[in-house]
Structure 1
């Protein structure tokens, strides 16, 4: 090979790969094309560094061409990738509460940090969340030529993170001419408008190629209150599952005075008339009255975004020049800017003795000497939703700059050519975030403290002899509208946070053919890499100090470096003999030496066997690993408010063993459990610098059948299994508490939480650790069929399906699989708090485990016209509904007459049956476990185009053409449907393409 032929090689290679089916198999070609293909030089495909003449490897690869991407009618490459059937639950623009504008991919539902994302075969820079996962919105959509998805582990080829698979985004290059695209779309409800515009220009010659492109995307929001399924905290329950922090407030008085140093009320709290409890007060002349549940519960849902807005600008360029016949310089530069926002309901200000109040907020109360306090007593508990702020607005401005520059060429030894490459990649994500609608604890302390009116009747903070300059007294007892703009200006602040993630990589590799074997030449690729990754999170000073009503967190900064070497061999054993038209093996190994935890060695073995021309049998076994990310290692402590059902609350207390109930009581919980009035409990999360890498083993086995008697048909079926150990995770608040209860108070998790005097959780520490693991197993089926051309045009079909057969957890590190982190049993299966069996089809909070995801793409072409019809199927799931039935909302459950068996090792706890097998779980308790069915869902997307005679293409389309609503998920966070489903409504769009 010489570089003189590279341009031809690349052009034909793109044509080849553009026809790859879901498994990496090309559609059948005409005889003349096949003969031409046999003369092509070798190319590199995702999953291997060895250049080869075909695109079929021992591992399954799915590919989307630029036309396939355009046919989906989407403006984000992340949204396109999330539609792949192998993708699970992860961030996208439907994540408002808890989102940050990122869109990620999570192959096999193993987490976005276990899926490696490449751009042009190079590791892409991690997102600003410092978790190692890539934000797909940092990749310019207009620059994408195709997307290849390797549905198998590839740590030996690409290093860390490639446990679940690899997504390789290939950018456009060797573009000659000019092209402009304009796109506009909108939901049929008149909201969620999206616009996209891009322009690309390029030129190429025998020794030189260059191109540049510009892109702009604007995606507008959809409000949660504008869809029936999201206008309530929980569908069909009104405000029942809303917030106890309402606009009129929820308060308690402290007749004996509140002591901020001890954070307690002397003599106990009372309501307005001396009785126990809390009261609400509108400040408009009405008398205070007891706070009523659910009547006074606040419906915060309508004030939230359902679909968050984004605006993205991008510039991308690449070029190459042949310095000599055997050496070429090449470079690719991309710049992307994302401006995004999330909008939540107004800040719930919780102070004093209010549950969930942070340490700083517990020192703040409404003084009896405040001019706005009509009760003459300290207000010790303060819950007030300050709707006067207009809500909490979280804004991100993220810039991504990536540069890849290097040399490539050929070396000649004897009569053999060896390809080589050496270069440098640098990627950086820089984020400057601002948050509006937060409150300063020091300012609240002054504004709610003693105050008076001066001679002019103006309210002043402090006392006449000790005025606090600039302070404006705050009226939280005045009901809605009682807080003026002047008050807000003093007690609120705009938070300014800064994030950075930088990756630098030096790489060099060489490959070619060493000598001939019976099946052909032995191919190899050898490479060296040096990479550094660094990141920091610099929060606003008030947030860093904890002096805010929002989530506090401390600063994070860290870095690590590594050196790697890899070797890959392609070993052809037999070719063109009976029962072995092809038999070859692939082996690879990678050595990685990390500065923070040491070294690791990972290897793989694969094979391909063609007993006949029409059938390819393939298999692969590979070791994998994932190094801990900057955030997992070095994250400072931060607040988090997950939904947590305390094992000691009034609903869970009766289900505990006698020992567990005794431990609850010993922790100060009242007899029978306490009433947990807030499902979101403040916990503290953070990093752990002593983390070790995760380890994994992946196995695939399958076949590809391309029958010569049915031209254009390819069928591929692959079985896959992934075993993950030493998972980097957090135990979760419920597990921490439950493990302590099970230990009788002697276990290590007992030191991780404390309780208040009334039984509520006061503090809970939930940092990252290496514990437990997971196994997943399933099948991928891909069928491609391109029919012979008829009088009615050309038809082609691609049917891609993922079947999840098994998903089991080990959450406590005891080596026992079948543990259910979601605490949801399979129907009728025996389980205890940890042993849950196969969780396929069981839904947890924003954690899907569909048994089947399936996509069917149909394409029709005739002359200058064409159309597509895409169908996307999600199988049904079950979710736990017992908690809702306990709270009196059993009408939401679909199966309320279900009972399950719980194994227990203690015969004293027996109230069920004896199983007599002589091992753990001899005794079975029986308890009720209601469920809710999440229905199967199919979306239909259609589009049609016309190639106009002035070198233009006009496309119109409708996504979700039958207006399919998402299924209700009662355990989904923030809305009553999971963010992986479509926002309700038809989405209509128009695209215009002009070539010059």
Structure 2
């Protein structure tokens, strides 16, 4: 579907509306508790499903009685007027589904004594936390950067059961995020990538605080260790924020706000499965909370289990031979009957005897592989708070999460000429019938059975602290301790040292030394159990990441000018990070069929100081905001990063915003300390083309049947941070006479330098075309690559530009209830990428290059979603369209570089829910209503499509049943 047609379709929802409403309250009215006005507003916001923004201390000092308020036509306005009638407060609509409680503009003198006086305080959201991207508190529509908010009731109506599932289709998300949709190359974790930049360039926070990375010392937090049942809302800041949060916030910030003030009991269950009968998924959760004026306790328990999809069970992914689709044949030359290169021919050994090898003998490994990884998770989350004194509160948050996943790969392939060790078969080896030494055998050892990769992660998080107020300033002291332990087991591999010995003659391999000869040259089934037990190997990786920190933040009015209050915030943070992981490879060599993750041990101490200020230049219309953060790292030095922003409101309904910031991403402890990492990477050698004789780095034409090359990676203790410059310019329109409408458009640019990269493909290209890097790209006498050595360097540069646009509108009437429409889109106009100094600059916008070959993944020029939400009485419904524009990909075919188009893709999701009297809620939903298959990608290694961008499930049904009281 063309983007213009898609956008036109999405706008039809807006044309049907003519007036707005503030919320969707129960027609029977709302029941509010006695106590502080803040608790009454929390209850009102939840019942009417609206976000209320208020000055915290103003409402906490006001006591209200228990009362029932009428909400005619489901509008919150009459209830708010009645609730605030005897206070110095009123309300104003600040955007779709958002209401601000503010001071009355003027009060008659004779009434001032009868009204409760306001206390100076900062703005907070009663139903949540402060806005992501600043320690200063602003109304959402006054932010100097675009923010996507996924909140109730949107979280309920989507039917999503994981955070990764929620974020996957956000327009700003593109590139190489990971999830359980990634089998070969996945590790059971899930990450998010904004703007197509690597996962390490997006900072993930919980309640505005940094969390530990995954257990292997990875570059990003694992979203699978955050249970969705404990989430209140998710805020996605689409702008650089190193000045506010420090390292990693180059592309943006994902801030996951957990539920902390929940009162009552909520029990929910979910079941879903694909229409084709697989991917059976279920989840259960229970949340309870209660409190008083002096304390609150809440806990949440959750269980989630996702079923698998096998590659062979979908037409798109069933075969690696894609010639009929216009692609290439990606089947493997390592077949069960073996590829055997003799001195004068290439033969294969079938059950019918030895015959010449042909391309028809290539092996289709998709018969065994998982396309969607089965996984399960259990979690416990506890939040408690206690009033210590009139001005000090204490709090603690404890979370424990256990995740497990298991993926299936095809049986281990052996490439005797290219794998680790001396794997030549001696002429007098007992199973060698050819009477000559054989160096090149490619054998799929089906007798071992499929490789099974099991991943497990156990995560614990503790955040505790004190917060209070001194005069007009609020302060918070937080201590955190996070620990995550991960393990990975990959079985049915082959020990290269034992296999090497088993392929030699009787003088080297005999019973006397416990060596058992192995028959790699026989027909399928010729390797018996004794031989298998001798060579079978298992790779185990275990690792732990730790983070502990102490943070102090204070914020409040610094002073007052003629234009208004000068707001400021400042703080310090001391953080310690440590990793420790090892793998059980074979004497530093990767086991055949697996990868040697190597080992890394390291730690660092980080000290940071930061400050923010907001200067009003003209009352209620012009503000200058600034922030700076100084960071001192014990292992590479220091860096300082500022941010400046200007907000101008020429009219009450129009906001112009612009910002400039610098950012940085510190090299990870793995980047600096890893040793012994080996992997068979999916790369392309230009020396396999027919023009190899004309290329300076080629020694004859290399083997055209190879798609994987043994690659050694390594850390570099001399790495420096990646740096960036972020620029944005935007406009927000909220017409006062059209109060249910909000529109924004923002231009962004991210310039990044000193990018840490390994880029083995760049090394191979430079070696082939220019004769460079002979020490890193090692070739044998026949010109075939035997090993690529790629250590990490600060060598890359990027420049990403684009536009974000969003619109929201809501309408309510007695006849049809509440209708809420939204459109969210992101356009990537350019993605200029330079792998290394002197290399060409490529524009990757609108292209796909698989992560398995070192590419940046799918970078669509357009990605968008539009949705319509409806509520009337006990009924609710939702309809959402997701859209990804077409992409271009390039691949080699018959000595030519082919460029083809990957079709655009759109899916339709539908949900319907009913609130049963007594607190029960029943919902049914259909994802991918029209059963749209992902578009075919010829260069995609996993399952012929990009699992990081699209979904293979097809039409998917689910149902939920919940109870709340």
Shared fold per TM-score greater than 0.5: yes
| Structure 2 residue aligned with 1:958 | 926
| Structure 2 residue aligned with 1:784 | 808
**CA shift digits 1:345-399 (9 cap, x unpaired):** 0000222xx2x222x2xx2344444443334444433321111222111111101
CA distance in 2, matches of 1:737, 1:436: 31
Q: Does structure 1 retain, via aligned residues, the 8 Å contact 2:322–2:330?
A: no
Q: Does structure 2 retain, via aligned residues, the 8 Å contact 1:20–1:62?
A: no
CA separation of 1:651/1:209 partners in 2, compared to 1, >3 Å: closer, same or farther? farther
CA distance in 2, matches of 1:968, 1:712: 41
- 1:69 is displaced (CA, Å) by 2.2
1:520 to 564, 586, 602: 564
| Structure 2 residue aligned with 1:825 | none
| Structure 2 residue aligned with 1:859 | 869
Give matches, 1:402-413, under 5 Å: 402-412=461-471
| Structure 1 residue aligned with 2:268 | 181
**CA shift digits 1:283-325 (9 cap, x unpaired):** x4x3322221x11111111211111111101111110000111
Give matches, 1:311-390, under 5 Å: 311-351=376-416, 354=417, 356-358=418-420, 360=421, 363-390=422-449
CA distance in 1, matches of 2:389, 2:558: 25
CA separation of 1:756/1:859 partners in 2, compared to 1, >3 Å: closer, same or farther? same
Give matches, 1:658-669, under 5 Å: 661=695, 663-665=696-698, 669=699
Task: Tell whether 2:660 aligns with 1:650.
Answer: no
Name the SS for the 2:91 alignment partner. helix
| Structure 2 residue aligned with 1:676 | 704
CA distance in 2, matches of 1:324, 1:82: 44
| Structure 2 residue aligned with 1:592 | 631
CA separation of 1:10/1:151 partners in 2, compared to 1, >3 Å: closer, same or farther? farther
**CA shift digits 1:441-463 (9 cap, x unpaired):** 233244444469xxxxxxxx954
CA distance in 2, matches of 1:115, 1:634: 22
CA distance in 2, matches of 1:944, 1:521: 47
2:357 to 260, 278, 291: 291
CA distance in 2, matches of 1:381, 1:54: 64
Highest RCO, 1 vs 2 (Cα 8 Å, sep ≥ 6): 2
CA distance in 1, matches of 2:791, 2:292: 56
**Unpaired segments of 5 or more residues in structure 1?**
22-26, 254-269, 271-275, 453-460, 576-580, 820-833, 888-928
CA separation of 1:110/1:516 partners in 2, compared to 1, >3 Å: closer, same or farther? same
Higher mean displacement: 838-847 or 218-227: 838-847
| Structure 1 residue aligned with 2:879 | 869
CA separation of 1:754/1:87 partners in 2, compared to 1, >3 Å: closer, same or farther? same
Name the SS for the 1:750 alignment partner. coil
| Structure 2 residue aligned with 1:216 | 303
Q: Does structure 2 retain, via aligned residues, the 8 Å contact 1:438–1:548?
A: yes
CA distance in 2, matches of 1:115, 1:707: 33
Name the SS for the 2:702 alignment partner. coil
Q: Does structure 1 retain, via aligned residues, the 8 Å contact 2:243–2:629?
A: yes
CA distance in 2, matches of 1:714, 1:624: 30
2:902 to 912, 934, 943: 934
Higher mean displacement: 675-684 or 850-859: 675-684
2:649 to 598, 604, 610: 610
| Structure 2 residue aligned with 1:554 | 598
| Structure 2 residue aligned with 1:640 | 679
| Structure 1 residue aligned with 2:765 | 738
Higher mean displacement: 65-74 or 953-962: 65-74
**CA shift digits 1:157-201 (9 cap, x unpaired):** 000000000000011111111111100100000001111111111
User: Structure 1 stretches (4+) deviating beyond 6 angstroms?
Assistant: 3-6, 8-17
CA separation of 1:877/1:613 partners in 2, compared to 1, >3 Å: closer, same or farther? same
Name the SS for the 2:859 alignment partner. coil
Q: Does structure 1 retain, via aligned residues, the 8 Å contact 2:132–2:255?
A: yes
Higher mean displacement: 336-345 or 956-965: 336-345
CA separation of 1:543/1:950 partners in 2, compared to 1, >3 Å: closer, same or farther? farther
Task: Tell whether 2:559 aligns with 1:502.
Answer: no
- 1:241 is displaced (CA, Å) by 2.1
Task: Tell whether 2:945 aligns with 1:977.
Answer: yes
CA distance in 2, matches of 1:623, 1:4: 43
CA distance in 1, matches of 2:613, 2:720: 29
| Structure 2 residue aligned with 1:720 | 748
Name the SS for the 1:95 alignment partner. coil
CA separation of 1:16/1:801 partners in 2, compared to 1, >3 Å: closer, same or farther? farther
| Structure 2 residue aligned with 1:532 | 576
| Structure 2 residue aligned with 1:419 | 474
Q: Does structure 1 retain, via aligned residues, the 8 Å contact 2:677–2:714?
A: yes
Aligned residues: 863
CA separation of 1:628/1:311 partners in 2, compared to 1, >3 Å: closer, same or farther? same
**CA shift digits 1:684-717 (9 cap, x unpaired):** 1121111100111111111111112223011111
CA distance in 2, matches of 1:442, 1:497: 19
Cα RMSD of the aligned pairs, angstroms, is 2.6
1:989 to 946, 954, 958: 958
| Structure 1 residue aligned with 2:214 | 127
1:944 to 898, 912, 921: 912
Give matches, 1:24-43, under 5 Å: 30=77, 32=81, 34=91, 37-39=101-103, 42-43=123-124
- 1:467 is displaced (CA, Å) by 2.2
2:512 to 447, 467, 470: 467
Q: Does structure 1 retain, via aligned residues, the 8 Å contact 2:537–2:591?
A: no
Q: Does structure 2 retain, via aligned residues, the 8 Å contact 1:432–1:499?
A: yes
**CA shift digits 1:778-835 (9 cap, x unpaired):** 1111100001324122211111000111111232225xxxx7xxxxxxxxxxxxxx24
Q: Does structure 1 retain, via aligned residues, the 8 Å contact 2:659–2:729?
A: yes
CA distance in 1, matches of 2:812, 2:964: 29
CA separation of 1:29/1:930 partners in 2, compared to 1, >3 Å: closer, same or farther? farther
Task: Tell whether 2:890 aligns with 1:880.
Answer: yes
Give matches, 1:245-260, under 5 Å: 245-253=334-342
1:104 to 191, 204, 225: 191
Name the SS for the 1:75 alignment partner. coil
Name the SS for the 1:373 alignment partner. coil
| Structure 2 residue aligned with 1:801 | 825
| Structure 1 residue aligned with 2:845 | 840
CA distance in 2, matches of 1:977, 1:150: 29
| Structure 2 residue aligned with 1:563 | 607
Q: Does structure 2 retain, via aligned residues, the 8 Å contact 1:676–1:760?
A: no
Q: Does structure 2 retain, via aligned residues, the 8 Å contact 1:9–1:41?
A: no
Give matches, 1:388-467, under 5 Å: 388-412=447-471, 417-450=472-505, 462-463=509-510, 467=512
Q: Does structure 2 retain, via aligned residues, the 8 Å contact 1:640–1:684?
A: yes
CA distance in 1, matches of 2:139, 2:160: 33
- 1:115 is displaced (CA, Å) by 0.3
Higher mean displacement: 788-797 or 529-538: 788-797
CA separation of 1:408/1:206 partners in 2, compared to 1, >3 Å: closer, same or farther? same
Task: Tell whether 2:347 aligns with 1:279.
Answer: yes
CA distance in 2, matches of 1:108, 1:799: 18
CA separation of 1:287/1:389 partners in 2, compared to 1, >3 Å: closer, same or farther? closer
**TM-score, scaled relative to structure 2:** 0.85
- 1:93 is displaced (CA, Å) by 1.5
1:689 to 693, 705, 717: 717
Q: Does structure 1 retain, via aligned residues, the 8 Å contact 2:604–2:635?
A: yes
Task: Tell whether 2:741 aligns with 1:755.
Answer: no
- 1:53 is displaced (CA, Å) by 5.8
CA separation of 1:374/1:397 partners in 2, compared to 1, >3 Å: closer, same or farther? same
CA distance in 1, matches of 2:777, 2:669: 26
CA distance in 2, matches of 1:568, 1:843: 40
- 1:9 is displaced (CA, Å) by 7.9
CA distance in 2, matches of 1:950, 1:206: 28
Name the SS for the 2:462 alignment partner. strand
Task: Tell whether 2:168 aligns with 1:158.
Answer: no
**CA shift digits 1:580-605 (9 cap, x unpaired):** x4211111111001111111111011
